Amino acid sequence: MTPTQPPYQTLNPATGEVLATFATATDADVDTAITAADRAYRDWSEQPLQMRQEVVRNAGRLLRERATELGELARMEMGKRVDEGTGEVEFSASIFEFYADQAATLLADQPIPTFSGGTAMVRRRPVGVLLGVMPWNFPVYQVARFAAPNLVLGNTVVLKHAESVPQCALAIAELLREAGVPDGVYTNLFATFDQVETIIGDPRVQGVSVTGSERAGAAVAATAGRALKKCLLELGGSDPFIVLDGDAGELARTAWDFRTYNMGQACNSNKRMIVVDDLYDDFVAALTSQARDLRPEDIAPLSSRAAAETIAAQVGDAVDKGATLHVGGVLADAPAAFYTPAVLTGVTPDMRAYTEELFGPVAVVYRVRDEDEAVALANSSAFGLGASVFSKDVARAEKVAQQLDAGMVNVNTPAGEGPDIPFGGVKRSGFGRELGALGIDEFVNKQVFIVAD
């Protein structure tokens, strides 16, 4: 069944008030956008790399200058705390700066030294028009990690942002225009679901990148497959946070801070905390204490009333089936989207919380006997985005980490982050990578170029 198309609107999740509504694109708008992107590609891709680098560097500078302004916009549209929003924009700036600084190295011709009879190399060339389908949870960062490498490479971008952050989408497009991105090279489009399918099927479009839910990823991948188009999918996650030994209180603080960042609305958040027997009780007690000590100003709304109701229903299902809710889990009265951060234990396979992604501030803690049980539980998920292992014995933690089925595995840190650190997963978390050297290689023609003697 095709989902109902939501309107593009700014709806303050703290109050439920609709602040602005925007018209969706017409079919003529879609064709105009693709035509402009296709025409712009011819010129943009042939510009000197140094010119594209300078434009991308300008975008990074403008993001830094407007970090607070864009952070406030994210707060208004999806509820993010302003300090977190500002930090998101500054990190996005570093992504543009990284690709501006490193493009010449990342895109350099790669000689094939074993070839005889002439010279052979692999050249990295752009492919054309790309579609980006981006989510609301990091409204600037998600766009940056897709757009920055592809713009510096020479591709052109049509961007369909989430319906709930239209003003963020417009602000990014305007910022890139001011940075010197020519008309048609980056186009924001308030497209419908049906129009996304049309765009992917258009022969002028060469690929699509999606960050979102499993459902959205599966739908786009099916469409891309029928059209023989390259796609990159970054979908859900249920990342394990394995605690083998150490200071239970300190580890709980690390776990809690990461779990409640962006009110738990991050794909690579530590959604399953797996703790050995010896530390389990103290770890749960420390988490519970931190949840109880939260001040009202520490609790932001979730992105929407629907998001808050979904996480409440998942926790409610677990409690009804025997799980223990230690603290939190209070859903505000409608239409506000507040849900108090919670600690949940006793989750079993018959509960929704065991298999579904919990996209909100709920810390689920599992007790295990030993390392083998921790690995088995960690790998039992259908997701495979990130994972982390904590131990005072680094060699012990590395041995466990090497057994985990995930795209990103970390030892003694919840996540490795940086514009040079690739991001992506395996299994139902999707495929492909963004950021770093791998990110710029996704939508590139690795052209073999041979000159005979």
Q: Is 373 a known active-site residue?
A: no
Q: 253, 226, 437, 231: which is closest to 363 by C-alpha? A: 253
Q: Is 231 a known active-site residue?
A: no
Helix (H), strand (E) at residue 209: strand 205-211
Q: How far is CA 38 from the centre of its chain?
A: 27
Task: Give me the catalytic one of 234, 356, 434, 442.
Answer: 234
**What secondary structure does DSSP assign to 273-335, as a single string?**
EEEEHHHHHHHHHHHHHHHHT--GGG----S-HHHHHHHHHHHHHHHHTT-EEEE--PBPSTT
Beta bridge partners of 452: 118
**How far, in Å, CA of 228 to CA of 173, rounded?**
29
List b or e across 27-44, with b for residues whose CB sees 16 or more CB atoms inside 10 angstroms: eebbbebbebbbebbeeb
List b or e across 148-182, with b for residues whose CB sees 16 or more CB atoms inside 10 angstroms: bbbbbbbbbbbbbbbbbbbbbbbbbbebbeebebe
Task: Give me the catalytic one of 97, 168, 231, 267.
Answer: 267
Q: Distances in Å between the alpha carbon of 152 and those of 46, 95, 164, 181, 426?
A: 11, 12, 28, 10, 27
Helix (H), strand (E) at residue 240: strand 240-243
Beta bridge partners of 388: 241, 410
**How far, in Å, CA of 80 to CA of 57, rounded?**
26
- Residue found under tokens 């190399």: 121
**DSSP H helices in 402-446:** 436-440
The catalytic residues are 234, 267
